[in-house]
Every structure is written in C-alpha cells, then in structure tokens.
C-alpha cells in the first residue's frame, strides 16, 4: 500500500504545480572534461528535489500528494504539516547556482569556463542539468613579490621553501587563499599582533600568451585609521596577569603557569594564544576564559596579557535510577556520584561513586536464595598533567594529558555464587595538538577476583561432577589475580559528537594492545615462586592470568548527499592465553551478537564458530571466544523530523584458538573459518537529537553457522521471524 501510494503521488501532486511552473525532479552537474570533478561542486546547488527515503522513494511528499488544495480543510492542513511541500523550480535560484558553479570552476584555473543550464521537461516535471565547458586550464607563470615592509620581507624570505606556489603549477584561487593563510600565520606568530590577512593580496595578470597567469604577492604596510602609512610593528609580551572572575575556589598560580603558553619576553604569537585557550579549556575547574592584550603605556611595542578565568562550581552530586529486565527478571539500581573538580587547587578531580542493584530471579530450581544483590564503591582521582619522572617540561606543556588513579570494590551475591572484585588502575591519557590523535596507557591495572561462596547445587551441576564438568566455567569461578598493562590509540577525521558520521566523508581507526602477567612471571621465575596443584604460579596463593590481546577497529562513512550516507565497519580482535593460563578470563573473552555486532543475534548468542548452545544457564560463558571478527555495512537516511532510518548488513563471529571440549566446533582454522561467518540483515530507526541518538534495530539471521542443513543454515531462504529475529535498543550509532 505504501509503494502504491508513492507511485500515485507522482501523479496526484500535479494539482499543486501552477501553470508554467514545474516540479523539480532531478538536479545534476556534468562536465565536458574529466579534469573537472563535479562532486566537489554539489554544494553550490541552491535547490534540491523533494527528499527521498534511501535515495529512492519520495515518501515525505506522499502526505502532500494525498491532500487537496482546499486550505480551509483541517485534514489538508494536517497533511501539509507532516508532509513535504513540492519543490518547484525557481529560475532565479537556478541562474544564481549557474553563476556560482561558473565562478567556482574559474577559480580552479579554468578562467574561460562557461556553465549552461539544460532543462528536460516531462509533463509537469523538469530535470535541471548544469553543463560545464571548462576549456583550457591556466598555469602560473612568473611570480613576483611586492612586500612593502623590510621586516616582513626578511621574515617571509626565510620561509620561501614552504611556499605553496611555484611557476608552472595549475592556477587555483583556493591555493592562493591557502598561501595567504600560511603567510598570515607566519607573520602573526612572529610578533605582529595588529596584523591580519587583509594586508595580504595577490594580483594576477592573465594577458600573457599561452594561457598563463603572472602572479604578484603584495603585502601592504600598516595603515592607521587616519590614513597614515607606516611599517608593521613587532610586539613582545611584557607581563601575564591572571584574573579568576567570580570564582568560588582558586587555582594555584603554578597550574596556570603550566598551561599558559604566553611567555614574558617572547614575541607575540597567535599560536601561543590559541594553545593557551585549549589548555585552559582542558581544566575541569575552568568554565571559560578570555585573553586580552593591552599595549604598555610607556613602550607601545610591549603587551600586557590579561587572562580572565571563570571557574566551575567545585562540587557536584548526581543520582541515577535504573530499571532492568534480564530475560524476564525485573530489577532496579541506584547510583550516586560525587565530584570535586578542584581538590588541591590544581583542577584535580576527585570522584566517588556508590551503586546498589537488586534483581528478583525466578525459575532457578535447587537454590535457596532467589535474588541478586550487588553494591559497588569506586574512588578516582584525576590530575591535569602527565605525572611521570624523566619527562621534559616542554613535552608536558605541549601534551594535553591527564594522569588518573582509581580504586573499585564490587560485591555480587547471586543464588549460584558470591563474587568479590577489587581493582586498581593507574593510567595516562593525552591527545595530539590537532585533537585527532588520542592515546591511553594503562601503566598498571590490578584486578583481584575472589569467590567466597559457591552453592552446592552449582558445584554439582557444573564444577565438580566429572560427567558435567565445564573447564571454561570452572576456570572463571576460581579466585584469580590479573596484573595487566595496555596501550590504546585512536585517530579520527570525524567531528566530535555521536552524529558525526551523518553526511560526512570521514574515517576512524582504533588500536589496542594489552598484556597481563609478564612482570609477575619474571618475578616468579627469578624467585622460584610457589605453584598450585595445577602447576600454575601464584601470588598470595592465588593464580595469576597471563595473556596478550590485540584489537583493531576501522570505520568509514561516505556522503551520498545531504540526507543519505553509507557507513562501513571492520573490527578484529585476537587474545592468546599462555603460561599460567590455558583459558582467557571471562571479562577478556570476545562475544558476538547484540546491538553493535551481528544484529540477527542477541548478545552472547552467536558462536564460537559453529558451536550451538545447549544450556541456557551457562551459555553466556560458553558462547565466547579468543578471536572476533565484525564486518558491517549500513545505509543511513534521514526520514522526517528527528527520525532517521537505516538498512544494514552484518557479518562476523567469534572463535577459540584452542580446541576446548566444552565448545565443540568453536576452534578457528584457516581452511574452515569462512564457512562459519554468520550474516544478518535488517532495518533500523534512530531518534536523532544531534547531541544523542536513540536507536532501534531489528535484525534477521541470514546465514547461521550453527546448523549444517540448508533450511536452518540459510534462514534467509527459509525465514522464521519467531526464531530468527532479534530486536535491539541502544544509545548512539553502532559504529
């Protein structure tokens, strides 16, 4: 019915098209020469046809098409409000667009280019095509310099090798503008406080034969408001003054000196000003800042830098209430967090978080207590500096870094067991100067897992009975000590924010490396430390884990137009247990399925390999692995209002690197793994508020490696929604 309505709308919308006007059906830009790339010119189009879902169906136009032209009827007003008004060609905007495209092409060096408009009419519709005839491109001929200031002339000659211009290059106004910005940055970073790019201009003479443009770089002298011409003045910083405006707490001067890059005695530098702004913005205690310069009353070539800082409220308390539903078991949780943003007057952040949770568990036979209770305490302290010996002062000043330490205690009481977890972390985070490179080092991360009580029923069913003993399960219900180190790196060309992959051509890369137990192994070997009955080295009678883990993740988005984009994702992770460990700790194992993986399966329902779970009570342990592969392709489109849609294809699985008896068919082998890649497809709806996204995805199994027979192995041919459909609710994009 929807598709029929869409087809009918193309005819019924004609009543809204006045005589001698036309519905804009298609807009395109073509070039008579392949040297002109039309994709970069799409931004100059001033009128676009009515929007299409998935770039195919004009669904937003449908409500308008179903209405009549009678504005007195309420139903028509309603349909007009929810629908999209038909876009009629505006010939004035078309001509402006033609001029804009022509100017843009001429700025690329095709100074004799012409752009014409071609229209193709069919009934009440029109296709508009902008045709570019670029002709021959001009080259840069002789380059002259006319710098009417001796000081600037000497300064710029020292950077001539970095110039973006050279004789014989293609003439391009965009390159001239970039060169103008480069010259302006050099001058303003060398003391010329009152300089700006308006003093820089290029003159081009295109009368020479052979389609050449002779360029002249002109840097004008300083001109006062009264018209007096004089050389540009070079300024130095005389003093730096801090003013903590309206603060309820103060910041130590030493902290401000560390983040301030404007130094007394140095030449004024615009780069130092911007770096100082960025460094101040990285302090949690700072709400905002303003930097102003005042010429000295005695020596006008000296500047007083006045830095005004508005500090944040030092203390805050937040509370969160959660409702949970785990396979029909209802529960609730309450967390309270306290934060002090300026603990030692150096923008140190102290955090304290308390959390309690309760869940009423049903249907567990043989257990006395049917409830789940958890409470945890976390204490953290973050320093706005790279606290590490032997680091140079310049490195610490240039890196926007934090040092963090945290301690956490978590207590879980389930009907089957009681678990206690104590952890402590010391880590560093820092970003590159362009904010695209992010680094994190976990210098030391300690985790101690203690099992004070396990019910007799659970022991009998899964841990002690030789006929039902599960090695993976047993390993994860023993006391365990993990001492790990790790490094994580990420790079992104995307803008910050959850919606950054919409309508952009961007990509991101993430890489992580983690190792555990190496230091303890070295100490144990040298000291001939104690071993337990399984032959594993221990610390305080507790075996410690040894493993190495490597993760790689790549995401890329392709902009189709303002309403449609294509996003792809590839993720690979491998973790190898060794030495003291035959099995990875559960928290370090990979799982597949869920809202951010292969969406035809729920979380921890897929794999490893072609393994199929048989015991729903422990499959969350068995359906994990040592290796993970994720591949995702998603077409994203804007539907209407705040609603976006998506069509996706997912593929992937997890595998074990060893042949575990309790996970038959789960081991990775190069000659069979490709047969065990699961696939799913589906549709998604996203409520997009720009600052956050609520996501609903429905995935359907397409290829299920857990089965060998055709009917179950290829559910895409024999679909059964009750069996093959999974629904996911999440916040944010999947990748």
**What pLDDT is stored for residue 500 in this prediction?**
42
Residues 162 and 223 in one domain: yes
Question: How high is the pLDDT of residue 379?
Answer: 98
Together in a domain, 219 and 284: no
Say what percent of the chain tops pLDDT 90: 61
Identify whether residues 108 and 15 lie together within a single domain: yes
Which residues, including other chains, have CB under 8 Å from residue 191's CB and lie 6 or more apart? 234, 235, 236, 267, 268, 269
Asked whether the predicted pLDDT for residue 503 surpasses 50, the reply is no
Q: Which of 269, 291, 311 is the last residue of a domain?
A: 311
Q: Spell out the residues 6+ positions from residue 239 whose beta carbon is closer than 8 angstroms to its own.
A: 264, 304, 305
Q: pLDDT value at position 328?
A: 65
Q: What is the pLDDT of residues 276-286, one digit of tens each?
A: 999 999 999 99
Q: What is the pLDDT of residue 550?
A: 98
For residue 253, the domain's CATH number is: 3.10.20.310
What is the pLDDT at residue 267? 97
Q: Are residues 126 and 22 in the same domain?
A: yes
The domain total for the chain is 3
Residue 212 sits in the same domain as residue 269: no
Q: Is pLDDT above 90 for 639? A: no
Q: What is the pLDDT of residue 501?
A: 43
Whole-angstrom distance, CA of residue 501 vs CA of residue 629: 22
pLDDT at residue number 499:
42
How far apart (Å, rounded) are the C-alpha atoms in residues 408 and 378?
4
Q: Is 323 helix (H, G, I), strand (E, B) or coil?
A: strand
φ, ψ of residue 176 to 5 degrees: the values are -60, -40
* Residue 248 pLDDT: 54
Same structural domain, 154 and 70: no
Higher pLDDT, 366 or 541: 541
pLDDT (tens digit per residue) in 440-469? 999 999 999 999 998 888 888 778 766 656
Q: Which pLDDT belongs to residue 413?
A: 92
pLDDT over threshold 50, residue 394: yes
> Is pLDDT of 325 > 90?
no
Q: In this structure, are residues 611 and 663 in contact, taking their beta carbons and an 8 Å threshold?
A: yes
Integer Cα distance of 591 and 605 in angstroms? 8
Please give the pLDDT value at position 223. Answer: 85
Percentage of the chain exceeding pLDDT 70: 93
DSSP string computed for 548-611: EEEEEEEEEEEEEETTEEEEEEEEEEEEEE-TT-SS--GGGSB-B-STTS-TTS-TT-B-STT-
Does residue 272 sit within a domain? yes
Q: Between the CA of residue 346 and those of 149, 259, 276, 428, what are the distances in Å?
A: 45, 11, 16, 17
Residues 178 and 122 in one domain: no
Q: What is the pLDDT of residue 113?
A: 96
- Does 246 have pLDDT greater than 90? no
- Name the more confident of 15 and 590: 590
**Residue predicted with more confidence, 175 or 86:** 175
Element containing residue 279 per DSSP (H, E): helix 270-281
Residue 223 and residue 241 share a domain: no
Is 157 a domain residue?
Answer: yes
Longest dimension (CA), the chain: 99
Q: Show the domain range for 185.
A: 139-230
Both 168 and 284 in one domain: the answer is no
Q: Each residue of 559-614: pLDDT tens digit?
A: 888 788 999 999 999 999 999 898 999 889 999 999 999 999 998 899 899 998 77
Check: CB of residue 115 under 8 Å from CB of residue 102. Answer: yes
* Domain shared by 44 and 84, yes or no: yes
Instruction: Give the model's confidence band at 420: pLDDT under 50 very low, under 70 low, under 90 confident, else very high.
Output: very high
Choose one of 254, 277, 311: the last residue of a domain.
311
Q: Is residue 622 part of a domain?
A: no
* Count of CA atoms in the C-beta half-sphere (13 A) of 388: 19
- Same domain for 113 and 172, yes or no, is no
For residues 498-512, average pLDDT = 71
Q: Is 195 part of any domain?
A: yes
Can you give the pTM of this predicted structure?
0.85
End of a domain among 290, 311, 332? Answer: 311
Co-location of 153 and 185 in the same domain: yes
């Amino acid at each position: 019915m929807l598709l029929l309505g869409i087809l009918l709308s193309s005819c019924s919308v004609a009543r809204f098209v006045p005589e001698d006007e036309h519905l804009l059906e298609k807009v395109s830009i073509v070039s008579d020469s392949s040297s002109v790339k039309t994709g970069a010119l799409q931004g100059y189009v001033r009128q676009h046809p009515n929007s299409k879902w998935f770039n195919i169906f004009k669904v937003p136009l449908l409500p308008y098409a179903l209405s009549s032209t009678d504005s007195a009827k309420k139903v028509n007003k309603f349909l007009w409000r929810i629908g999209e008004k038909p876009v009629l060609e505006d010939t004035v905007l078309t001509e402006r667009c033609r001029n804009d495209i022509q100017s843009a092409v001429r700025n690329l060096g095709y100074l004799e280019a012409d752009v014409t408009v071609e229209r193709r009419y069919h009934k009440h519709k029109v296709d508009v095509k902008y045709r570019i005839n670029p002709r021959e491109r001009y080259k840069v001929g002789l380059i002259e310099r006319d710098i009417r200031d001796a000081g600037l002339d000497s300064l710029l000659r020292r950077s001539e090798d970095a110039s973006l211009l050279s004789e014989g290059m293609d003439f391009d106004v965009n390159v001239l503008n970039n060169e103008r910005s480069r010259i302006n940055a050099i001058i303003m970073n060398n003391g010329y406080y009152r300089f700006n790019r308006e003093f820089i201009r290029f003159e081009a003479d295109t009368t020479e034969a052979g389609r050449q443009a002779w360029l002249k770089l002109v840097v004008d002298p300083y001109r006062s408001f009264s018209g007096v011409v004089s050389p540009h003045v070079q300024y130095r910083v005389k003093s730096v003054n801090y003013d903590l405006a309206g603060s309820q707490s103060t910041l130590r001067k030493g902290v401000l000196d560390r983040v301030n890059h404007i130094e007394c005695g140095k030449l004024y530098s615009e780069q130092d000003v911007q770096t100082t702004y960025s460094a101040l913005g990285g302090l949690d205690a700072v709400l905002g800042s303003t930097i102003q310069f005042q010429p000295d009353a005695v020596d006008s070539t000296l500047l007083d830098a006045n830095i005004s800082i508005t500090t944040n409220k030092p203390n805050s308390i937040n509370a969160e209430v959660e409702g949970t539903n785990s396979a029909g078991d209802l529960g609730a949780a309450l967390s309270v967090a306290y934060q002090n943003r300026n603990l030692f007057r150096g923008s140190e952040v102290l955090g304290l978080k308390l959390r309690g949770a309760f869940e009423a568990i049903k249907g567990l036979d043989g257990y006395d207590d049917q409830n789940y209770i958890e409470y945890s305490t976390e204490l953290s302290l973050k320093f706005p500096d790279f606290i590490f010996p032997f680091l140079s002062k310049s490195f610490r000043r240039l890196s926007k870094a934090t040092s963090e330490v945290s301690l956490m205690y978590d207590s879980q009481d389930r009907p089957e067991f009681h678990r206690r977890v104590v952890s402590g972390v010391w880590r560093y985070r820092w970003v590159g100067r362009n904010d695209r490179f992010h680094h994190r080092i976990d210098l030391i991360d300690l985790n101690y897992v203690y099992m004070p009580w396990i019910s007799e029923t659970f022991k009998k069913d899964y841990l002690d009975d030789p006929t039902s003993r599960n090695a993976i399960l047993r390993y994860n219900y023993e006391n365990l000590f993990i001492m790990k180190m790790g490094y994580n790196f990420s790079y992104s060309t995307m803008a910050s924010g959850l919606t950054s992959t919409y309508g952009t051509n961007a990509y991101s890369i993430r890489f992580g490396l983690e190792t555990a137990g190496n230091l303890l192994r070295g100490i144990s070997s040298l000291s001939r430390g104690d071993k337990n009955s399984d032959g594993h080295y221990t610390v305080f009678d507790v075996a410690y884990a040894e493993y190495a883990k490597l993760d790689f993740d790549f995401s890329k988005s392709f902009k189709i137009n303002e309403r449609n984009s294509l996003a792809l994702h590839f993720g690979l992770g491998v973790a190898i247990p060794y030495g003291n460990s035959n099995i990875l700790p559960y928290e370090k194992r990979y799982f597949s399925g869920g809202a951010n993986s292969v969406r035809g399966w729920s979380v921890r329902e897929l794999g490893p390999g072609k393994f199929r779970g048989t015991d729903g009570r422990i499959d969350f342990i068995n359906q994990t692995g040592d290796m993970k592969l994720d591949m995702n392709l998603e077409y994203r489109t804007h539907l209407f209002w705040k609603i976006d849609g998506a069509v996706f294809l997912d593929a992937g699985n997890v595998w074990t690197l060893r042949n575990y008896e309790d996970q038959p068919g789960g081991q990775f082998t190069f000659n069979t793994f490709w047969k065990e890649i699961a696939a799913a497809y589906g549709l998604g709806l996203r409520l997009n508020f720009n600052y956050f996204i609520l996501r609903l995805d429905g995935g359907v199994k397409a290829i299920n490696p857990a089965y060998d027979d055709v009917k179950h192995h290829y559910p895409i041919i024999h679909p059964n929604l009750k069996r093959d459909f999974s629904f996911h609710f999440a916040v944010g994009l999947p990748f």
